[in-house]
Amino acid sequence: MAIDYYERIPNNVGLADNRALQRALEQWQPRFLDWWREMGPSSFGGADVYLRTATTADENGWASYGHVAMPEYRWGIFLADPVPDRRIGFGDAIDEPVWQQVPGEHRSSLRRLIVTQGDTEPASVEQQRRLGLTCPSLYDLRNLFQVNVEEGRHLWAMVYLLHAYFGRDGREEAEELLTRHSGDQDRPRILGTFNEPIEDWLSFFMFTYFTDRDGRFQLKSLAESAFDPLSRSCRFMLAEEAFHMFTGASGITRIIKRTLKVMSEIATDDPAAVRNAGAIDLQTLQRYINFWFSSSVDLFGAEISSNAASYFATGLKGRPDEARFSDHLGAGRLPIELPDGKGGVIPEEVPTRSAMNEVSRLAYVKDCDIGVQRWNRLIRDAGQDFRLVLPSLRFHRSVGAWTGIHTTPDGKPIIAEEWSARRYDWLPSEEDRAFVASLMQRVTEPGKFAGWIAPPDGGINNLGLAYEYVHLN
């Protein structure tokens, strides 16, 4: 379906045919823009940024590129094309036709799922709002802003669903999405990770690698939903999300490349010497991985969850890539390891439906590990002994059975004294953050890159590295 760009709100949902909905969204639009100016990328309102914008919602050639000032970005409502005769793919209502309207009995659960997803989108823009001031290059600055405007568009995607299908409650929730703020004492964002500060680019790349990837897995699960408008929304969001994954994976790769080059130049693996030479030592990278991975795995929820079981049973939320499972009823049981409360571990078996969060989390961990292994090949090929590793799912958890239980990164329960003595061997310390912050010097000359990160292999949309991706006015 073609996107109507003549409308005030670009869309492919026939908004012009629904005047009441159009009016409601046109009232929300200026509030969104106020939020963007206040809480979005700080001090870059006048910059022209080489951004891609959606033009059609099919898989091939959906994007057009051009320089645009961010407040003029054409945020809109894009649903993936409908799948003819789509049927529910899992749970108790398997093979029944999907829903075009919200069934009354699922209204509040669906609203909660949409609000929780919607809340993460503006949250990440708020978390990243000051990064532009310390960009390592114009190329990276452009990528940050591309991610930001697309997270803004993801907010539009969820707000459309709230306005179109949830009446007055939905409109109120849409307002709230602009009044909660990341890290706000009184009105924080709903999920923990989205209240963590992102003050340096190492954290930004970790966030886009680990936390945006959680987003990708949540979208995959919601793309399975029996509520077809949600499914179509999420399918199009997934097309945009691929670039966010790329930003994180390539960003961390480039940092590691630069570090390895410095290690070979100074012929030592001593982290202090690496830091002195202006690169980020691999040990610090590992601590940032430990932090962002453990925070992001919390986003999947508790290991045993009656909510997750009921979302699956009723068809509201499936597993990521549900088609890849052989059993779509979630029958059977799953082995799971839980703390025994005495510093040990008990193996348990729980009904698969109750363990859906864990099933999704394990698929996510596998996906996270692909990049880690790629980084380890780079490190090995450079002749270094060091290996990066994802910590255990028991490590540093704030949600689920392992909350508040101290373990080593490989998951061995330890006493509180050992945790206090060693936690900064495993997690970023104030001193680590101060060191990383000291490297964050702004580089804006086209084609130039900060010294702590290697240039990328190529530019955006086949343009070179020296292209002026952002015109700073």
**Would you tell me which residues interact with Fe ion (CB under 5 A)?**
121, 151, 154, 212, 215, 244
**Least distance from C-beta 215 to Fe ion, angstroms?**
5
Rank residues 173 and 212 by Cβ distance to Fe ion and give the closer one: 212
**Least distance from C-beta 147 to Fe ion, angstroms?**
6
Rank residues 151 and 358 by Cβ distance to Fe ion and give the closer one: 151
**Least distance from C-beta 154 to Fe ion, angstroms?**
4
**Least distance from C-beta 340 to Fe ion, angstroms?**
38
**Least distance from C-beta 365 to Fe ion, angstroms?**
19
**Least distance from C-beta 148 to Fe ion, angstroms?**
10
Rank residues 83 and 242 by Cβ distance to Fe ion and give the closer one: 242
Q: How far apart are CA 458 and CA 401, in angstroms?
A: 44
Q: How far apart are CA 12 and CA 6, in angstroms?
A: 11
Rank residues 121 and 303 by Cβ distance to Fe ion and give the closer one: 121
**Least distance from C-beta 243 to Fe ion, angstroms?**
8
**Least distance from C-beta 229 to Fe ion, angstroms?**
17
CB distance 405 to 413 below 8 Å: yes
CA torsion through residues 430, 432, 438, 442, sign = negative
Rank residues 146 and 305 by Cβ distance to Fe ion and give the closer one: 146
Query: Looking at the DSSP assignment, which residues form a beta bridge with residue 99?
Result: 227
Rank residues 151 and 200 by Cβ distance to Fe ion and give the closer one: 151
**Least distance from C-beta 75 to Fe ion, angstroms?**
13
Rank residues 13 and 144 by Cβ distance to Fe ion and give the closer one: 144
**Least distance from C-beta 151 to Fe ion, angstroms?**
5
**Least distance from C-beta 131 to Fe ion, angstroms?**
15
Nearest to 15 by CA among 164, 143, 236: 164
Name the one residue in this structure whose structure tokens are 């029996």.
226
Rank residues 22 and 231 by Cβ distance to Fe ion and give the closer one: 231
Rank residues 128 and 134 by Cβ distance to Fe ion and give the closer one: 128
Rank residues 154 and 319 by Cβ distance to Fe ion and give the closer one: 154
Rank residues 215 and 371 by Cβ distance to Fe ion and give the closer one: 215
**Least distance from C-beta 349 to Fe ion, angstroms?**
35
Q: How many CA atoms lie within 13 A of 354 on its CB side?
A: 13
CB distance 107 to 346 below 8 Å: no
Question: With helix as H, strand as E and coil as C, how does the chain read?
Answer: CECECCCCCCECCCHHHCHHHHHHHHHHHHHHHHHHHHHCCCCCCCCEEEEEEECECCCCCCEEEEEEEHHHCCCCECCCCCCCCCECCCCCCCCCECECCCCHHHHHHHHHHHHHHHHHHHHHHHHCCCHHHHCCCHHHHHHHHHHHHHHHHHHHHHHHHHHHHCHHHHHHHHHHHHHCCCCCCCCCCCCHHHHCCCCCHHHHHHHHHHHHHHHHHHHHHHHCCCEHHHHHHHHHHHHHHHHHHHHHHHHHHHHHHHHHHHHHHHCCCCHHHHHHCCCCCHHHHHHHHHHHHHHHHHCCCCCCCHHHHHHHHHCCCCCCCHHHCCCCCCCCEEEEEEECCCCCEEEEEEEHHHHHHHHHHHHHHHHHHHHHHHHHHHHHHCCCCCCCCCCCCCCCCCCCCCCCCCECCCCCECCHHHHHHHHHHHCCCHHHHHHHHHHCCCCCCCCCCCCCCCCCCCCCCCCCCCCCCEECC
